Structure 1
């Protein structure tokens, strides 16, 4: 089945949200003649600089696409003001002032709103921590699919969280490695993880697969309760997601974010 054709910014927004792809919504909030844009004009812009919609002509677009890479790196909205009267480019307090490069003049002000990619996670385990993760993850816009003993998930996942905590740990890790293509966040001590990783390689799993297991998982916040452990794991996922976005920005722009 062919993908629907994108003919407007709204089509692009729906398509990218459905596909869970990072993008930025750009809205013109002020424009002065002879700018070809008008307040209310919108566009959806990809990290690669593809623009779906209208935010003005060639004078504004290079400035905006550069700013898109920046907002996708830090995840914060940004107002971009492009004006002939602006001096050197200055960014501060959520505003970037840029000189209008075109001789035709005019000015334009835009709001850039980043929509970050949500990393789909597979949750393995029937424990209190798994219960907490299932509740909190959606609040942080982390899509999560959980399954227990005797069930199989549909499709593949970017990452997995193994919250078995002593209940069929090795089986849970095998399931996570089977269905997740990225990092496996294993809630266990480093010593325990190393023992299980050796057992997995002895069982015939490749070292490259087993090396995807990360333990102790999450940010170090001295977590003890199920609530705290869940927060630690999800914070670690968010940190890794930010680092991936920074790497994407470096790859796209050729600059260090």
Structure 2
């Protein structure tokens, strides 16, 4: 059987975001034990074991939250009526009314792929951009393929620029940096007959205005603009159709937040849909 560590390596190699969950502390009578682990994918599915169905629901919901900003989280799952436990930065406390007893602490570590960047051109500037991007832990794409790239830097200085821009736009790349003067860049984009939405994705002259002159300085200005787009503007990679985030609902019996999926206990009462954390809450609701 594939271990959680092997599965994590496989997802990492495939550049698929996931959360690695590890039970770090458990109090009887919970079924989880320290060292139990699981991976939670962006669609909310889970592989591995971090406790029973109620604890698992809390872990899955919190794991998806950590994927939004890539910040690790220590999740403490308490049974109903447990003594209060103070929250702190980097920690979250949830009270799980249907938890069988005891408490567990689960460390959630989001594993997000490094942003991929493709550099087009064989010039001193393109070489400097590739070197700096690698230093900044970008995945510098060598293949002639923009699929999955977060950004593309076109630094051909007159060679193959239009074709590179068109290919990046067609691949869904959200940030395309064209190294050119104001005048030449505007003329080149006019020849491409871009839509307003496409034109907004092409940045020329590339880079922040820092008075850059040398290839290394120009690379710094370009990568500064790319990093700002990712960290400030929320630039996402070109990934085709992203995995839809699962719908969330509140269990009307215990008040837990649950992820809605094919296996989530469900009932339709008086034309309204209700979802439950477990079969026990469903039975209690329908028996009332």
Q: Which residue of 1 aligns with 2:203?
A: 215
From the superposition, tell whether residues 210 and 234 of structure 1 become closer, same or farther in structure 2 (CA, over 3 Å). Answer: closer
Alpha-carbon distance in structure 2 between the residues aligned to 1:242 and 1:213: 13
From the superposition, tell whether residues 65 and 220 of structure 1 become closer, same or farther in structure 2 (CA, over 3 Å). Answer: farther
Alpha-carbon distance in structure 2 between the residues aligned to 1:14 and 1:23: 11
Q: Deviation at 1:7?
A: 3.7
Residue number among 130, 135, 139 corresponding to 1:139 in the alignment: 135
Alpha-carbon distance in structure 1 between the residues aligned to 2:105 and 2:209: 41
Q: Which residue of 2 aligns with 1:31?
A: 26
Instruction: Map 1:33-182 onto structure 2 (within 5 A).
Output: 33-84=28-79, 85=82, 92-146=88-142, 153-157=143-147, 158=149, 159-164=151-156, 167-168=157-158, 171-178=160-167, 181=171, 182=173
From the superposition, tell whether residues 121 and 176 of structure 1 become closer, same or farther in structure 2 (CA, over 3 Å). Answer: farther
From the superposition, tell whether residues 143 and 100 of structure 1 become closer, same or farther in structure 2 (CA, over 3 Å). Answer: same
Q: Deviation at 1:78?
A: 0.5
Q: Determine helix, strand or coil for the equivalent of 1:48.
A: coil
Instruction: Map 1:195-214 onto structure 2 (within 5 A).
Output: 195-201=187-193, 207=195, 211=199, 213-214=201-202
TM-score (norm 1): 0.76
From the superposition, tell whether residues 103 and 29 of structure 1 become closer, same or farther in structure 2 (CA, over 3 Å). Answer: closer
Gaps of 5+ in 2: 250-288
Q: Determine helix, strand or coil for the equivalent of 2:75.
A: strand
From the two aligned structures, give the one with the greater helix fraction: 1
Q: Determine helix, strand or coil for the equivalent of 2:164.
A: helix
Q: Determine helix, strand or coil for the equivalent of 2:33.
A: coil
Alpha-carbon distance in structure 1 between the residues aligned to 2:26 and 2:211: 50
Residue number among 185, 188, 193 corresponding to 1:193 in the alignment: 185
Q: Deviation at 1:178?
A: 2.6
TM-score (norm 2): 0.68
User: Do the aligned residues in 1 keep the contact of 2:27 with 2:103 (CA within 8 Å)?
Assistant: yes
Which segment is superposed worse, 216-225 or 40-49? 216-225
Q: Which residue of 2 aligns with 1:3?
A: none
Alpha-carbon distance in structure 2 between the residues aligned to 1:213 and 1:243: 11
Largest Rg, 1 or 2: 2
